[in-house]
């Protein structure tokens, strides 16, 4: 049951549309790996994964072992890669659930070398090519890691990958440098380990900007949800993405205040004339940041400014007239011809659109269309 009068709607048809759009950009034979980490970027990992499988996706990616196990508990047996470091002590859990782990550390392999595994463990190697986050940096490290893998019967090396730092910008030198470095490291790996491997380098930005340069798989994350990685990538106009996430609430009180009366904590907003104020049941406890004071919502297709400090559970807006309690409020999404995009919220917060659905907490129920 949903008791709240604030909720998000996730349009799974839009997600299917986006996946089809992204698949069409890739060369024949290349495939999409759908990224459902961070609870599917706040959209719901299990529901998004099932929508992706309906579109023929055959590989999923998450960031943590818990996220992969959640998919398994939902009956999703599709190959799934964890890109974050999983403590060696939990490697057997991954093997039991047929979850592929990322390896970039010789010490990690050495720690599990004496472990007894009931099931084999698949791993992908991550190469460091310029992101300077995690990954194998040198051929020497690679040789040591491969030599250790070959001694471990319960470890199966099945793939290799990297991550671009500037693919959301247009034609950067660093993109070319990272790609060149990866190709060099992949060439060294193929000599050390001459077995078939899955290779993937592209995120949403790289996959949209350089589709012909992607390898066997392209990891589409934010684009799956209808969000462009950057303004530059959107302006390429090569894919038509549909935002899948909408956020709604309703007015729970409407009152008229007199000139000079103030609204919310700190009295940061005071009316200069008699005006209507509406209260909406969403606040920073839901992840709706206090910094959104001064932004707006849509009511009856019109912008209504957020006034006064946003509280933990509610916020207030200035209305153009009296509305009935229960009036629909759109915080993200369409209302008639008007639209608040995820990027509009992100721009106000001086952040990226990726962050917005992720910051909206589980207090906001998700419903699925």
| pTM, to two decimals | 0.95
* 265 in active site: yes
Fold of 12-231: TIM Barrel (3.20.20)
The pLDDT of residue 292 is 98
**Residues ≥6 apart with Cβ < 8 Å to 178:** 129, 130, 131, 162, 164, 165
Across the range 93-113, mean pLDDT stands at: 96
Tell me if the domain spanning 245-368 has CATH number 2.40.50.180.
Answer: no
Segment 25-51 mean pLDDT: 97
Q: Does pLDDT of 116 surpass 80?
A: no
| Rounded Cα–Cα distance for residues 250 and 279 (Å) | 8
Give the pLDDT score at 203. 97
Percent of the chain's residues with pLDDT above 70: 100
Determine the Cα–Cα distance for residues 357 and 247; give it in Å rounded to an integer.
Answer: 10
Mean pLDDT in residue range 117-130: 96
pLDDT at 189: 98
Query: 37, 50, 179, 318: which is the annotated catalytic residue?
Result: 37
Catalytic residue among 191, 265, 291, 362: 265
Mean pLDDT over the full length of the chain: 97
The share of the chain scoring above pLDDT 90, in percent, equals 98
Nearest to 61 by CA among 84, 92, 43: 84
At 115, the pLDDT band (50, 70, 90 cuts) reads confident
Catalytic residue flag (residue 37)? yes
* Domain extent listing, the chain: 12-231, 245-368
Residue 152 confidence (pLDDT) above 80: yes
> 3-state DSSP call for residue 127?
strand
Instruction: Give 45's DSSP letter.
Output: H
The pLDDT value given to residue 364? 98
Q: How far is CA 320 from the centre of its chain?
A: 36
Range list of H helices, 256-315? none
């Amino acid at each position: 049951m949903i008791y709240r009068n604030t909720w998000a709607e996730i349009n799974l048809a839009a997600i299917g549309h986006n996946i089809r759009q992204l698949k069409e950009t890739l060369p024949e034979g290349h495939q999409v790996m759908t990224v459902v980490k961070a609870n599917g970027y706040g959209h719901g990992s299990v529901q998004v994964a099932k929508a992706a499988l309906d579109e023929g996706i055959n590989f999923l990616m998450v960031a943590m072992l818990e996220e992969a196990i959640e998919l398994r508990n939902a009956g999703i047996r599709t190959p799934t890669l964890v890109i974050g470091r999983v403590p060696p002590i939990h490697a057997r859990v991954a093997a039991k659930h047929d979850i592929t782990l990322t390896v970039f550390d010789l010490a990690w392999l050495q720690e599990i070398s004496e472990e007894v595994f009931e099931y084999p463990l698949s791993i992908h190697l991550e190469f460091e090519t310029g992101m300077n986050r995690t990954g194998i940096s040198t051929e020497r490290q690679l040789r040591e890691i491969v030599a250790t893998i070959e001694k471990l019967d319960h470890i199966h090396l099945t793939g290799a990958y990297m991550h671009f730092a500037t693919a959301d910008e247009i034609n950067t030198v660093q993109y070319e440098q990272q790609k060149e470095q990866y190709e060099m490291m992949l060439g060294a790996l193929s000599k050390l380990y001459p077995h078939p491997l899955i290779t993937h380098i592209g995120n949403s930005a790289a996959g949209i900007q350089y589709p012909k340069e992607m390898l066997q798989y392209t990891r589409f994350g934010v684009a799956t949800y209808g969000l462009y990685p950057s303004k530059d990538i959107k302006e390429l106009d090569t894919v038509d993405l549909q935002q899948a996430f909408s956020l709604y609430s309703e007015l729970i009180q409407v009152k008229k205040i007199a000139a000079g009366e103030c609204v919310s904590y700190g009295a940061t907003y005071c009316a200069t004339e008699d005006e209507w104020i509406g209260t909406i049941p969403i606040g920073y406890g839901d992840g709706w940041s206090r910094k959104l004071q001064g932004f707006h919502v849509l009511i009856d297709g019109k912008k209504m400014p957020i006034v006064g400090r946003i509280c933990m559970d509610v916020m207030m807006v200035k209305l153009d007239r009296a509305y009935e309690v229960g009036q629909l409020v759109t915080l993200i999404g369409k209302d008639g011809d008007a639209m608040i995009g995820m990027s509009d919220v992100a721009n106000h917060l001086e952040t990226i659109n990726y962050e917005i659905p992720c910051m909206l907490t589980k207090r906001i129920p998700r419903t699925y269309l």
